[in-house]
Chains A and B, each alone.
Chain A
Amino acid sequence: MSGISHLLETARRALLSQQYGMAVTGHNIANASTPGYSRQRAEFSTTSPLSTSSGFLGTGVMVENVTRLRNRFLDQQIRSSNDSLGMANSEYQILSQIEATFNEPSTSGLSGAMDRFFQAWQELSTHPEDAVTRNALMLEGKAMTDTFHRLNAEMRTLRGSLGDEITSKLNRINTLSKDIARLNMDILSAGSGGQNPNDMKDLRDAKLEELSLLANISVSEDSLGSVNVSLGGTVIAGNGDFRTLRAVPGTTTSIAGTDFDQLRIVTDISGGDVMLTGGEAGGLLKSYNTTIPESLGRLDRLAGAMISSINEVHVSGYGRQNPPHNGINFFMGTDAGSITIDLTDTSSGAAPGTGPSIDNIATSSSAAAGGNNDIALLIAGLDKKKPLVSGGGATLLDGLSISEYYNQTVVRIGSDVNSADTMIQSQELVVAQLTQQRESVSGVSLDEEMTNMIKFQHSFDAAARLVNTANEMYQTILGML
C-alpha cells in the first residue's frame, strides 16, 4: 500500500509525534524551575518501512520513548560531596555557637574575667589590709565564677538541644528511607508496564540527594531500577523495605577528665549500631559525643586547676580575722559548674560556702602582720605559673599555665570553626561545580526548549500541509471521476 492513504497515514503519525514532542517540550518548560527536575526528551524513531517492489518505503515517525537526561556518575559524586558538606555545615554551626558562647576576644569573656580576678589579687597585694580592695576581689571572683557557670550552662544546654535535633534529623532520615522504599516499588511497578517513570525517578533522586546531606549514605541501583541505600554499611532502604533509626544512650565516656553520656544510633529491628559518621546528622552526633564534651571537659579542668591551685596557697595564709587564722579555702567545688567562692571559716562548724567574708581572704603568710602580702602575691602570679602541680604531685593543665590553657582552648575552637568554614567553602564549590555539570546535562534551557517548540511547530505545519496535499490529491482523483 503506497497510495494516498499511505501518505495520509504518514502525515497522521507525523502530526501525532510532533504533538507529543510539543507536549514534552511544554512539560520541560513548565518544570524549568522545579528543583530536582531532569529535562526530558521525546525519542523519535522511524516506523517500520513497507516492503514494496521498488524497495522499502518509509511509513513515517513515532515517539518511541520519553527519556530523562541524567548522569548517574554525577549524582553519585554530588551525594558523596553532600555528605562532607552536611557534616561540615553541622559542625560549623555548633562550633560557631560554642565560639559565640566563649565570646572572645572581648572584655566580657572568661579571659577578661580571669585577668580582672588576678589583677584584683595584684591590687590586694598593695592594699592587703583594705576592705574596699578585698571587696573588689570578692566581686571579681564572683564575676569569674559566674562566667564559668554561664559557659558551662550554655554549652550543656546546647548539647541538650542537640539530642532533640539529632532525633529530628533521624526522623527525617526515616521518612526519606520510607519514601525511597515506596518510590522503588512504584518505579518497578511502572517499569514493568512498559512505562518510563521519569518524574518518579526525579523525585527519588531528589530524596536521595536530601538524604545524602543528612547522612553518609551509599547508593546502588540494580538492573531493574530499584536503589539500595546503606548507611555506614547498614541497608536502610531497598525495594519496599526500610529500617527506622533511633538514638539510644551509649556508654558513658571520660573526655578531658569529665564523664559524659554518649548517644549511639541503632536500627529498630536488629538494634545493631549504625555508623553515622557523615552528613548533618553525623556532624550533630559528633558534636554531641565529642566536640562539646571536649570544650566542657577543658573548661572543667581549667576550673578544677584554679580551685586546687588557689586553695592550696590560700589555706596556708592568714586573713584579717580577729585573731587572724589560716586554713580557709578561697573556692569550693570541683569543676566549671560548681566553682564557687567559699571563704567560710569552717572551724566553727559552718558548712563551706555558707558564710563568705572578705576578712577570710588570706593575704599574709604571718598571723601577726596585716600588711604582709606574700600570699596575695603568690596567688596573683598563679595565672602565669607553669607547670601547676596538684597536691598529689600530678601536673595540671598539660603543663600549661592557667591563661595559656584557656587561650589554647579558645584558639582550638576558633581553628575548628575556621577549618569547618574552609571545608564548607571547598565542598560548596565542589557541589556547585558538580551541580553545574549536572545542570548542563539535566537542566532545562528555555532557549533550547523554544527552539524545539519552533521545530515541532514547523514539523507539525509541514505534516498538516502533507494532509492538505493528500486531500487535494484525493480531490483531483475524485474530480477525474
Chain B
Amino acid sequence: MRISDNSIVADFLASLNHSRARINRLNRQLSTQKRILRVSDDPDGAGAILRLNSDLQRVASYKEGVAGGKSSLKMTADSLGRVSDLLQEVKGVLTGATGSADPSLLSKFADQVDQFLNLGLEIANTQFDRKYIFGGTNTTTPPFVRTGTPAQVVYRGDASAISYQVGDGASQVVNVNGLAAFGSTGEISFNGILDRNAAVNTTVSNTMQVTDGLGVSHDVVITMRKIDANSWAMSAALPPRSTGATLSGGTATISFDPVTGKPTETLRGAPLVMTPLVSPPAQAAPALTMMVRAGTLAEEASGGGPSAFTGTQKSISVFNKLLELRDTLQSGKQPTADDMAFIGIMQDVVMREEARAGSLSESLTAADTYLTAHREHLLDLLGDKQDVNLAEIGMKLSQEQVMLDAALSAAARVIPKTLLDFLK
C-alpha cells in the first residue's frame, strides 16, 4: 500500500488529537474529582446521580424535621414533668389544708395554690421555636387563657396532632396537645336513690351519655351492685356492639351511712377512661379520664321507692380545678378527699402524656437512626457513581502521557525524513 506524506501527517494528527482529548478528560476528572461531568459521559450514571442527590436532599430535610420534632418533644416532656411536680406540690398543700380549720392558714394555702396555678399556666403556654407547644395545631396564640367572671381557664387550642414527614410515606406525631395533657379530666357524679333493703347482689343499671374528648357522645351503662348491707359496687361499660370509643375502668365501691343514708366513703378502683376511635390514628384524640363521685346518691329504705339513679358528666381542666381549690381554701373551707383524688388523677394524666411525649421522641430517634443509615447508604452509592478513583485516573493519565510522548517522539523522527535527506 502506498503511504503518502499527507496520510502520515493526517494519521499522526488524528492520533495526537485523540490522545490529547483523553488526557484533557482525565485531567478534568482529576481536578473536579468527579467521574461524570456531563450527562453524556454516562447517561444512566448521571440519572442515578440526579436521583441520589434528590434523595439525599429529602433525607436531609427529614432529618431536620426529626431534629426539630425531638427538641420540641423534649421540651414538651420537660414541661409536663414540671406540671406533674407542681401537682405533687399541690397534693402536699391539700394534705396540709385538710387538717387545718384556721381560715388564715387556709388563705395562705390558697395563695400557694394560686402560685402553682400561675406557674402551671405559664408552663402550659410554653413557646418553643416560636410555637406554642400545647396548642395542638393552633400554635400561634397562647392556648390557655384566663377569662370571665368568675375567672375560668379556657383552652383556645385544638386536639389535633402535628405530624412531620420522617421518611418516604412515613410520618410521625411530634406534639402533645394541651387538651390531652391538662384538659382531659372530669368527673361523673350520681344522683338518685338505692334501695337499702335490696338483697346482696341486687344490681341496678342506668345508661348515661358520656361525651369524649372530641365532643362526641356515647352511651355508657353504669351498673350498681349491692355487695353488703350498706355498700354498692359500681362499674361502667359500653353497650354491646358500640363503636367509636373504647372504655376502661370506672369502678368504685360506695358505702352509705346506715342511718342517714348519705354516702360515707367511696373506694375508687380505676377511673373511667374513654378513648375515642378516630381515623387516621395519627390524629391522637385525647383519652378522657373521669373520676367517679357519689354526688347526691343516697341509700334509703324501700319506702323511698325502687333503686334509680342518674349520672352527670363534668369536664374539669387542671387549671380550673386549681382555681376551684384556690377559691375553696380562700373561703376558709377545707379540701375534700375527692379533691385529693382528683388531683391524683390529673397528675396521672399529665404523667401519662409525659410518657407519651417520651415515647414519640423515642420513635423519632429510631427514625433518625434509620435516616442516618439511609443517608450513609445513599452517599456510598453516590460515591460509587460520581467519585473518581484517584489511583486509577493517575495511572491512566501516566499511561496516556507516555503514549503521547512516544507518539510525538516517533513523529519527530519520521515526518521530517524524505529521500532528499539521503541524496547527495
Which residues of A line the B interface, CB within 8 A? 32-33, 39, 95-96, 99-100, 102, 104-105, 111-112, 115-116, 118-119, 122-123, 125-130, 364, 366, 368-373, 377, 380-381, 383-384, 403, 406-408, 410-415, 417-418, 421, 428, 432, 435-436, 439-448, 450-451, 454
Contact = CB atoms under 8 A, between A and B. Distances in A.
A443 B130 CA distance: 83
A476 to B, nearest CB: 35
Residue from A95, A118, A436 having most chain B Cβ neighbours under 10 A: A436
A104 B39 contact: yes
Given A371-B131, A414-B46, A116 B57 contact: yes
Question: How big is chain B's contact interface, by range?
Answer: 35 or more
A436 B160 contact: no
A118 B102 CA distance: 66
A367 to B, nearest CB: 11
B165 A377 contact: yes
B406 interface: no
The SS class assigned to the B binding surface is helix
A384 B168 CA distance: 9
Contacts of A442: 4
A286 B402 CA distance: 42
Contacts of A111: 50, 53-54
A414 B38 contact: yes
A443 B6 CA distance: 7
The SS class assigned to the A binding surface is helix
B47 A410 contact: yes
Contacts of A369: 136-139, 158, 160
A384 B51 CA distance: 11
B39 A371 contact: no
Which 10 residue pairs are nearest across A and B when measured between Cβ atoms?
A443-B4, A414-B39, A371-B139, A417-B40, A369-B137, A414-B43, A439-B7, A372-B137, A122-B61, A411-B47
A446 B163 contact: no
Contact of B419 (A411, A418, A451): A451
B46 A445 contact: no
B158 A418 contact: no
B259 interface: no
B168 A403 contact: no
B423 A450 contact: yes
A96 B386 CA distance: 20
Contacts of A123: 61, 64-65
Contacts of B65: 122-123, 125-126
Interface of B: 1-7, 10-11, 14, 36, 38-41, 43-44, 46-47, 49-51, 53-54, 57-58, 60-62, 64-65, 68-69, 129-131, 135-140, 158, 160, 162-165, 168, 171, 386, 418-420, 423
B111 to A, nearest CB: 35
Contacts of B6: 32-33, 439, 443-444
Contact of B5 (A411, A428, A444): A444
A62 B333 CA distance: 148
A417 B168 CA distance: 34
Given A111-B53, A126-B69, A373-B137, 18 more contacts: A95-B40, A104-B39, A105-B50, A105-B386, A115-B53, A122-B165, A371-B137, A371-B139, A371-B140, A403-B51, A403-B54, A406-B50, A439-B3, A439-B6, A440-B4, A441-B2, A447-B418, A450-B419
Contacts of A112: 53
A61 B131 CA distance: 111
Nearest to A130: B130
A371 B136 contact: yes
Given A368-B158, A440-B4, A119 B137 contact: no
Nearest to A403: B54
B140 to A, nearest CB: 4
A99 B38 contact: yes
Given A105-B39, A377-B165, A440 B423 contact: no
Contacts of B4: 39, 439-440, 442-445
Contacts of A451: 419
A147 to B, nearest CB: 14
29 contacts: A39-B4, A99-B39, A105-B39, A105-B49, A115-B53, A122-B61, A122-B65, A125-B164, A127-B131, A129-B130, A369-B136, A372-B160, A373-B163, A384-B168, A407-B47, A410-B39, A410-B47, A410-B50, A415-B40, A418-B43, A428-B14, A432-B14, A435-B10, A436-B7, A439-B6, A440-B2, A441-B2, A443-B4, A450-B418
Given A370-B137, A371-B137, A410-B50, A440 B38 contact: no
B420 A126 contact: no
A407 B51 contact: yes
Nearest to A443: B4
A406 to B, nearest CB: 8
A99 B43 CA distance: 11
